[in-house]
Each structure stands twice: as C-alpha cells, then as structure tokens.
Structure 1
Amino acid sequence: MNEFPQVLTIAGTDSGGGAGVMADLKTMQARHVFGTAVVVAVTAQNTLGVQDFMALPTKLVDEQCASLATDLKILACKTGMLADAAHVHAVVENLKRYDFGPLTVDPVMIAKGGAALLADDAIQTVRDELIPLATVVTPNLPEAEKLTGLTITNNATMVKAGHALQTLGANNVIIKGGHEANPQTANDFVLLADGTAFWLSAPRVATVRTHGTGDTLSACITAELAKGQSVASAIKTAKAYVAGTIQETIQVGHGHGPLNHWAAPSNEVTVHDA
C-alpha cells in the first residue's frame, strides 16, 4: 500500500493545458510517478495569454494539503504560481506542517505572454519564507534578477546570482538561460549544495511553442527526486526532457504553443564544468 512514487504540485491551473498544474501533471505522468495537486489559483488562459485569474481562499489551500497528508505518501513536491503574499505564506505554513519530501520551488512571476502571476508584494515573501525551504530553486533570468536584485547580463553574473540564491537559503540552484541572447544554445547554470557547479546546454529551436517550460522542468525534477535520483541527476534529466519536448513540437493554439509532453528526453544536452 502507498509504495508507488507520489508527488505533489502546489500551483495555479492553466485552462489552455500548456502550463501550471496541467503541465505538471502531464510531466509527472510521463516520468512514471503519480501526480497530485493543490490548486492555489485558477486562470482563464490559452496560448495567446492570460485573460483573468482568481486565487482560491487560503482555507481551501489548507484543506487540500491536509487531505493529501492524511492519505497519500508524498515523496517530493513543487510550487508554481502562488498569486500573492497571503497565499505564499499559507503554502509555506503547510510545507512546514506536513512532510511532502524535498521541495522544488519554481518562482513563477510572469506568464509567457507577459501577464503578472505574482503580486509585487509577494516577491519578498517568496524570498524570505519560501526560498529557505527549497531543496532546488529554478528561476529563469528575470525571476533570478527579481529575487537577487542583480542585473544578469552574462555567465559571470549568472554565477553570481546562483550564489546569491544560495545565500537566501536554497540548497541547490538552477538558473534557466532561455531568456539570454545566445542564438545557438540555451545555457542553464547549476549550483549544488556541496559547491559543485556546472552548465547545461541544449541547441536552441526556432519555435514559439515553449509555453510551460519552467513548469515542466520543475515538475520533472520533482518526479526524479521522488524516484530516488540525486539532485544533480534529476536536474540533468529534466533539462534533457524539456529539450525533447521542445524539439518534438506539436501544433496547438495560435500563440505561445505548449510542449510535447510525450517526447523522449533529448540526447543533445551537454554538460560543461563551471
């Protein structure tokens, strides 16, 4: 009973199916773990953008967490869209109350189409309360800048931001370089708790079908941690999986299309020492 790997996403929905809880559950299924969800907010969203969203009452967030804790054996969890400071705090309190295993924090702030998914006053709460609980934190470049106060313009400043995030309390850091200007490769910087650092690189694909990449990466890390993989192995697997979901594109929607969660991990990801 209860021995199959079970994982949890605490995030917002995406009615268009490409990001948020929907992308998390698809990723978890593809990586052969059983996915569960605590819904923090509901969005009206498609590949063209976010039209509206509403956060659920924090009492319902509490009740969802309690419900899972009384029955399931959650081995790893992740957070995504958390809406505002009150909801970030509520999630933090539940993560302290229940043992949901190692925590991957995807500090979601802005949707692919540009809509704000985290209130400005919540960034400090993420920084002060959520990041210190993180086994892994997975910001993109704009999110890393918001969290650290640094301007990231090159590899050296990515490395500096990684160390700054560790100073905030995160054990392991991956800063996603998808927003960088390099036209050939997308380079992610990884800094582990033991001080080991390396770069992960994948060829860029000329496509707008990258909606949900951050959610998918963090969900894959969560799945691999639940299966007993090391943090380094989980991050490498997640990078390869996301690269595959971008390379094997599917045609859905008229805007920033979703990933192909059926795809096999790419064999084109390379690892470089930092």
Structure 2
Amino acid sequence: MTSVVEHDTSDQFSPATSPAPEATSEPAGRDGDGRAARSRVPALRTFLATAALVACAAAGGTYVVTQRLADAAFVSLEDAVLTADALPVGSTGAGVVTEVLVTEQARVAAGQELARVRLAEDPAQATRGPRTETLKAPMPGTVSRIDIAVGGVAGAGEPIITMYDHTELSFEAKATEEQLRDLRLGMAARVTGPGLGRPVSATLDHVKPRVGADPLLDAPLTEEQKVAHERLTVVLVPGTGDVDAVSALVPGLRYTAEVDTRTAVGRIPAVNSAG
C-alpha cells in the first residue's frame, strides 16, 4: 500500500501569513510638507507681485504729484520779447548822408565814427561853403538800424543811425492780472528760446504801468482788445552771469520765460507795482 504524506504549505503560500512591509509615517509626512510648500509658492509670488505693483504705483503717484507741484510753482510767460532802449544818432542840421561807416549789428566803441553828412548851406554863412558833419557813437553799443542810407536826406536831429546798449537788454512779456497775483518783484526766472544753448537766468525787475486813459471807459472793445488791455508788461533783467550770452542776441526775438514763484517770498507783489 502506498502511503500519502501530506505537506502543510499554508505557511508558505497563505497571504495571511506573508510578511507585511514595515509601515512608516516619515515618507508620508515629507510628501505632505512638500505639497504644502509647493502650494504656498504661487501665493507668495502673487503677494510679491502685488507688493511690487503697489510700490511702483505709489512711486509713480508720488512722482506725478511732485511733478505737478513743481510745474505749479512756475508761471509761464510766452512771447517774452528781447528789447533794448534805442539810442538815435543824427546830425545837428539838415543835409545829405554821404557815407555810412558801419553795418547793422556792428559793435562800436564810444567815439567811433558812424556816418558823414553834408549839411545844407546856411544862407547867413554862404561864403563858407557846404560843411560835412561826422556822426560819432556817444557810447559803446551795437548798431541796430541804418535809418537813412547813403544819398538820403536827413532833417535836423532826425535819426540816421540807431544804436542800443547790448549790455542793458531785457525780456518783456505780457502777463494777465491773474498771473500777476502770483508774482513778486525779484523773483527768479529762466528764459529759453532761439540762440540760447541753455536756459539763462533772469530776475523780475518791474511791471510797466498802464499809460493814458482807460479805453474801457471810451468806445466798446472786442473781447480780443479787452484781453490785450488786461495784460501788463513784465520786465525780466538777465542775471549777471548771463549778460554776455544775452548781449549776443538780436532784439526783437521771442522767448519763453518761466518765473519761479517759490523765490522772493514776501517781496512786493507785481500786481501792485504796476500802478
């Protein structure tokens, strides 16, 4: 008889008895921390971006406000015309201009010969014949205009040559009464325009008063005439360091002047100085 030997294999193949892997909580914890950290990165980036935008907006707003305050501190006067007091030179009597010895915009010294005039004969002194008068510059300056050319007839005292003192140039600009309320005598200004490589400094010297009768009391004026009448002339004198730069310019040119209202605080209001 054959015997059957039974082998118990339940310990080898039973899933219930197979060794289970050791459980550990450490990997799960690290993975959770990583996910939490990664989830915080977008929020942090958003916060930093928002903070940067807020900072830029604040800086931009501060700049805009600062710039507007700086612009508000200046009163802009357009069409500031470079002017000079005219110095006419003529003959003592009537005659004919025979020579002109200078040209326009020529610099001349005091006593320099400008022109010659053959004076008309004086019947009371007929035996002496015609006389020639030489016109000379009464002071250093610049020739602005030849009023009578060679061959022209000049009356006694009539300008033949017109000069100006190039060291005494000034800028004259029209200002409204509203603008004048913000201005004070002595305020600093900067002038820009043709022929100037950089802004030149100037000082508000005075305001020209109105002269003559008030036209508003006479015939009715147009709106344009009323606006022109309400404007007063502000005179700006170049600073000492910029006289040479201005003296090289030609009177009549137009510039832009900006008056700094932060200067000359407490000085005489320009609106009151106009009379």
TM-score (norm 1): 0.20
| Structure that is richer in strand per residue | 2
Larger Rg: 2
Whose relative contact order is higher, 1 or 2, with alpha carbons under 8 Å and at least 6 apart?
2
| Structure that is richer in helix per residue | 1
TM-score (norm 2): 0.20
